[in-house]
Amino acid sequence: MSDRHVYEYALLRVVPRVERGECVNAGVLVYCRAKSFVGVRTHLDENRLLALDPHADLPGVRAALRAVEGVCAGGDAAGQAAGDDPGRRFRWLIAPRSTIVQPGPVHTGLTADPAGETERLLDLLVR
């Protein structure tokens, strides 16, 4: 069991109309301190989102998801967070916001492969 490490994850949810409280899962953020890993995988089911709100801003949602991917990747794509360590980038991304793309609650688990776990959670909880 020593090859498994604690990780944290949060879903990215698209909330097209906050007053209705409906959402579509569109991604998963994963952070593993032991592996200095922060990653995200996204998948936007546009038909599902449009079923909740036919006037949803699809280009805006796609741009917001790309911005999260950029922060996770670090470097120039991370903007002001470029110099932050993976943990700080994860904490910044999971901070509550009143935007159309919102992080869900943080959960934990054990994994030997944080990148693989990110893909597994995307399949399980988003796709």
Q: How many CB atoms lie within 10 A of CB 8?
A: 18
pLDDT means per 10 residues, the chain with 127 residues, are 88 90 94 95 96 94 92 75 82 84 95 96 96
Q: Is the pTM of this model over 0.85?
A: yes
Q: How many domains, the chain?
A: 1
87-115 pLDDT tens trace: 888 998 998 876 889 999 999 999 999 99
What is the Cα–Cα distance from 113 to 50, expressed in whole angstroms? Answer: 34
Look up the domain containing 90 and give its range. Answer: 5-125
**Contacting residues for 118 by C-beta, under 8 A, at least 6 apart:** 9, 28, 30, 39, 40, 41
